[in-house]
């Protein structure tokens, strides 16, 4: 522990008490390794304030002592965004004790949740008032509101209601000097200068510590129709997406998976069954909540069958069957992991360009890296897939991750940029993509990112080494 | 003209030519006075580049010579946001020559428009492809895309599709060093660091010059139902709003006006007729585009009549009658102007609090300023009204504007803040509200605004004196 860190803890001890300051290495250890166990850091202490006032005092003291803080919620970052640096220079600032739902207003369609509220608890709180919070993702039992806001999280229901950016009506945050920005008032129109709420959404804790958020709730749908369709061609899938969007504004999910992803799930998950018979190159999972119900889905799918866009389709006959369809989709990552190490890429391109990208990028990767297998699955409706390049059979995993993955990553990222896309679609930059962001961003974008960071965190104490580094000579270098 | 300005024009003359540099005072004069003729400035030259590359060259040269620029589109700001300072220290940067629709993609629901495209031309371009751009406002024949983006403009159709912030999928902008940020790619998911697009929306040209934007288009509605209802109480109006929102997701407008606003229109606009008979304290203009059509509106209004929420209602029987309803709404500002000078306030509070605010703020103003008349009208569904305090009969207009309006403004703004609202709902800060923003913002918010400004425009050359001033000692003081 550095002298500055020791002095900081001494300052904070009377306020935070033993529950708010953790220094036993065994208790800290689980929070120094990321979700996928790719990034390992060190932190001499974990601070766990229980209120906004305590967070403000922590940040003010950290600024005074020039000690960096790494904010952390459920520690479910996919890009090492919540893992402390390896040199022990930063303390972990856990928001998990701030886990109160401050309010749920069904009539206004708004809930105020503290940063440490877990996503599935937010779902439950909304449901208890007859509303729903329409964003969900695999880590819903761990991910917290603060992390979801700070990473502009996405998921499988983004198509209709958007990612977190569209669902956050306001935030309360502690800024780098320890002052509290109270932006919780859910004003539908507010043009008082730069939108600090939108700036903090997706800032990965590098500009301020989100302590609470006002979130939009939507009505519960009266009906929900889940369908599975098979097609030979992603371009036909896109055409089907457009038909659904023309037929209803209530299309909520439009997911695509290749035959090999389905096969991996069928081989890995006991009891899993293919929703449609026969061999098909691509599969689609389609869900809508239009009041016209299943008849709407039936009509669109019947036309698509007649026109040859799809070769087969089925509508889930029960909630249990719909859940079975979703279990296939949500088991892909685990199932593919059993097939060997892979280089994984959360990327987006314009929706219109995704079918071509899926075909061409896979072919380019397999040609460039002989023996590998490349394919993507995910949110076709959002132009966002998870593109995986699986190592050639027999590859040593340690060598693959250390030597091959960086090369594969640069190759894939170059393809994404050439297609006008983003190398960070829904998982963010964290520490994993920081160098690729710097390599591939225009000087204008990089200068703007650094300008914002320098303007709001001039001492560089908030989540250093994530998202963007300041120019050489600046504090966090 | 300062030596630096002379040198700048000399640098730019070969590129911009005579069409791109205007120095005749008679040609510049109309652009140095704001829309409402409240702010008068001076500019020794108006620069009118015709391409993004030319804008970039202009800004780079301005940075080199330390000459400030005031970006201007249709010059329809309500807060003096596009008027140059009075000392001639800045040049006007007009974007009006950049008026090309770069693309309209009906299938993807996206259009790319240059900054100088006029809103009504954007409407027409979308319509020609069978789509609509769902934001409109009174100045649609003048307001340009660059100004709409830079002010996060609102209007009467915000309820369903949001203000500009929700309709901008990407921007191209020239940053303060002359570099070009190309953010036009409409990626539905893109978490590559801070969202520069959202930061530029509503920044009033103080962080960068928006040169083009990618805008969302929505399908044309198959049906549209416009209704007028009368009620005695804004709280009942809010209850009716919630019933409509529970009945349909396609509620597009929910406007409120007091009896005196309707009376002013009837007295001022030849041929205007009251949609419903009898005397009613409050009137509502309600529009929805649900596929279920007029039957939905009829059912909700019938229940509301039966329950006593409203006293009378009528549904427009034709497009002409619907247009008549809208003409009443859109004639309020002009009609009230005929009644004498007023202090006008574009403000918002949380939707749930608006009924109470409308009653209590009006009473408080009339008690505090004897002889005045205070009332608000506008976007109840957005929690945003235009709150006008009309001078006591016989008040000298010059004295009213010079002496009374600042006092009334501070009084009204204090009421707004006490109600948890915003003193700048849809018109922005500009130069008109800059001092009130500084008076009423928390130190945290002000420091953050200044941090962003200093980080992105360290020389203070972009629209100085608007939105936020840097701390004392900084360049634009």
Among A448, A468, A469, the strongest candidate for a mutation testing the B interface, having the largest count of B CBs within 10 A, is A448
* Mean of pLDDT values over B467-473: 68
The CATH architecture that domain A101-219 belongs to is 2-Layer Sandwich (3.30)
A99: its two tokens: 């886990």
∠ CA B339-B344-B345, rounded to 5°: 150
CATH 3.30.43.10 fits A3-94, yes or no: yes
| pLDDT value at B232 more than 50 | yes
| pLDDT value at A389 more than 90 | yes
CB contact burial B152-161 (16+ within 10 A = b; e otherwise): bbbbbbbbbe
| pLDDT value at A25 more than 60 | yes
ipTM of the complex: 0.93
**CATH 3.30.43.10 residue ranges in chain B?**
3-94
B471 band by pLDDT with thresholds 50, 70 and 90: low
B318 band by pLDDT with thresholds 50, 70 and 90: very high
**Residues of chain A found within 8 Å of residue B458, distances taken between Cβ atoms:** 451
Of A186, A383, A449, the CB nearest to B188: A383
A344: its two tokens: 């994984």
Ramachandran angles phi, psi of B190, nearest 5°:
-155, 100
- A187 and B107 within 8 Å at the Cβ level: the answer is no
> Mind spelling out the 3-state secondary structure of B376-443?
EEEEHHHCEEEEEEECCCCCCHHHHHHHHHHHHHHHHHHHHHHCCCECCCCCCCCCCCHHHHHHHCCH
A472 band by pLDDT with thresholds 50, 70 and 90: very low
* Mean of pLDDT values over B163-167: 95
The Cα of A74 is separated from the nearest Cα of chain B by a number of Å equal to: 19
| pLDDT value at B470 more than 90 | no
pLDDT value for A477: 32
Please tell me which residue of chain B has the smallest CA distance to A151: B191
Q: What does the pLDDT look like over A397-437, one tens digit per residue?
A: 999 999 999 999 999 999 999 999 999 999 999 999 999 99
- B451 and A455 within 8 Å at the Cβ level: the answer is yes
pLDDT value for A475: 37
A471 band by pLDDT with thresholds 50, 70 and 90: low
Q: What does the pLDDT look like over B105-140, one tens digit per residue?
A: 998 899 999 999 999 999 999 999 999 999 999 899
**Residues of chain A found within 8 Å of residue B182, distances taken between Cβ atoms:** 442, 444
| pLDDT value at A327 more than 50 | yes
In 3D space, the residue among A419, A429, A430, A426 whose CA is nearest the CA of residue A158 turns out to be A426
**CATH 3.30.70.2190 residue ranges in chain A?**
225-419
Instruction: Name the residue with higher pLDDT: A469 or A240.
Output: A240
**Residues of chain B found within 8 Å of residue A163, distances taken between Cβ atoms:** 189
| pLDDT value at B353 more than 60 | yes
**Residues of chain B found within 8 Å of residue A444, distances taken between Cβ atoms:** 175, 179-182
- A351 and B107 within 8 Å at the Cβ level: the answer is no
What pTM was computed for the model?
0.94
The rounded distance, in Å, linking the Cα atoms of A201 and A196 is 9
Q: What does the pLDDT look like over A144-174, one tens digit per residue?
A: 999 999 999 998 889 999 999 999 999 999 9
- A187 and B348 within 8 Å at the Cβ level: the answer is yes
DSSP state of A36: T
**CATH 3.30.465.10 residue ranges in chain A?**
101-219
| Greatest alpha-carbon span in chain B | 74
H-state helical runs in A98-201 = 119-128, 145-150, 158-161, 164-167, 196-200
Of A193, A425, A443, the CB nearest to B191: A425
CATH of the domain spanning A225-419: 3.30.70.2190
The rounded distance, in Å, linking the Cα atoms of B229 and B311 is 8
- B179 and A442 within 8 Å at the Cβ level: the answer is yes
The Cα of A227 is separated from the nearest Cα of chain B by a number of Å equal to: 23
Cβ pairs bridging A and B (under 8 Å): 237
Strand order across the A21-22 sheet: A21-22, A46-47, A90-94, A68-72
**Residues of chain A found within 8 Å of residue B420, distances taken between Cβ atoms:** 185
The rounded distance, in Å, linking the Cα atoms of B86 and B324 is 42
State chain B's mean pLDDT as an integer.
95
In 3D space, the residue among A368, A367, A402, A405 whose CA is nearest the CA of residue A388 turns out to be A405
The Cα of A151 is separated from the nearest Cα of chain B by a number of Å equal to: 8
Sign of the four-CA dihedral A358, A360, A363, A366:
negative
- B349 and A219 within 8 Å at the Cβ level: the answer is no
B339: its two tokens: 């009644």
The rounded distance, in Å, linking the Cα atoms of A114 and A47 is 17
Contact B347, B427 (CB under 8 A): no
* Mean of pLDDT values over A225-241: 97
* Mean of pLDDT values over A227-232: 98
State chain A's mean pLDDT as an integer.
95
Among A149, A155, A189, the strongest candidate for a mutation testing the B interface, having the largest count of B CBs within 10 A, is A189
The rounded distance, in Å, linking the Cα atoms of B219 and A453 is 39
pLDDT value for B36: 85
Burial of A308 by CB count in 10 Å (0-12 exposed, 13-18 middle, 19+ buried)?
exposed
A35 band by pLDDT with thresholds 50, 70 and 90: confident
* Mean of pLDDT values over B423-452: 95
Ramachandran angles phi, psi of B227, nearest 5°:
-130, 160
Helix/strand/coil for A30 = helix
Ramachandran angles phi, psi of B51, nearest 5°:
-150, 165
């Amino acid at each position: 522990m550095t002298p500055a860190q020791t002095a900081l803890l001494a300052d904070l001890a009377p306020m935070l008490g033993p529950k708010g300051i953790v220094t036993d290495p065994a208790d800290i250890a689980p929070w120094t390794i990321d979700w996928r166990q790719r990034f390992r850091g060190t932190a001499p202490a974990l601070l766990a304030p229980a209120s906004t006032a305590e967070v403000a005092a922590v940040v003010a003291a950290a600024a005074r002592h020039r000690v960096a803080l790494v904010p952390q919620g459920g520690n479910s970052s996919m890009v090492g965004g919540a893992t402390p640096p390896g040199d022990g220079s930063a303390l972990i600032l856990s928001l998990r004790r701030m886990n109160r739902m401050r309010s749920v207003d069904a009539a206004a369609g708004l809930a105020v949740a503290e940063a440490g509220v877990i996503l599935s608890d937010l779902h439950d709180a909304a449901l208890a008032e007859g509303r729903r919070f329409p964003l969900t993702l695999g880590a819903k039992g761990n991910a917290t509101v603060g992390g979801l806001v700070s990473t502009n999280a996405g998921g499988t229901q983004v198509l209709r209601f958007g990612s977190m950016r569209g669902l956050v009506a306001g935030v309360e945050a502690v800024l780098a000097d320890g002052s509290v920005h109270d932006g919780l008032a859910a004003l539908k129109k507010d043009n008082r200068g730069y939108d600090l709420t939108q700036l903090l959404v997706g800032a990965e804790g590098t500009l301020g510590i989100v302590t609470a958020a006002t979130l939009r709730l939507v009505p519960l749908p009266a009906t929900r129709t889940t369908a599975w369709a098979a097609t030979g061609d992603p371009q036909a899938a896109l055409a089907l997406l457009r038909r659904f969007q023309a037929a209803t504004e209530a299309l909520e999910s439009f997911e695509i998976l290749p035959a090999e992803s389905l096969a991996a799930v069928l081989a890995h998950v006991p009891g899993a069954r293919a929703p449609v018979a026969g061999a098909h190159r691509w599969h689609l999972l389609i869900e809508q909540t239009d009041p016209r119900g299943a008849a709407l889905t039936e009509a669109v799918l019947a036309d698509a069958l007649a026109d040859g866009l799809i070769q087969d389709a089925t509508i889930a006959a029960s909630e249990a069957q719909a859940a079975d369809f979703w279990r296939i989709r949500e088991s892909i990552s685990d199932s593919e992991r059993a097939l060997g190490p892979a280089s994984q890429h959360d990327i987006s391109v314009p929706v219109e360009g995704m079918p071509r990208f899926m075909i061409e990028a896979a072919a380019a990767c397999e040609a460039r890296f002989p023996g590998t297998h490349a394919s993507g699955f995910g949110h076709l409706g959002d132009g966002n897939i998870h593109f995986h390049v699986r190592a050639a059979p027999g590859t040593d995993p340690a060598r693959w991750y250390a030597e091959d993955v960086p090369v594969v990553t640069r190759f894939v990222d170059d393809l994404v940029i050439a297609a006008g896309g983003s190398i960070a679609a829904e998982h963010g930059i964290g520490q994993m993509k920081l160098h690729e962001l710097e390599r591939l961003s225009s000087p204008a974008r990089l200068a703007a990112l650094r300008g914002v960071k320098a303007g709001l965190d001039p001492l560089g104490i908030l989540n250093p080494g994530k998202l963007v580094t300041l120019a050489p000579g600046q504090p966090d270098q």
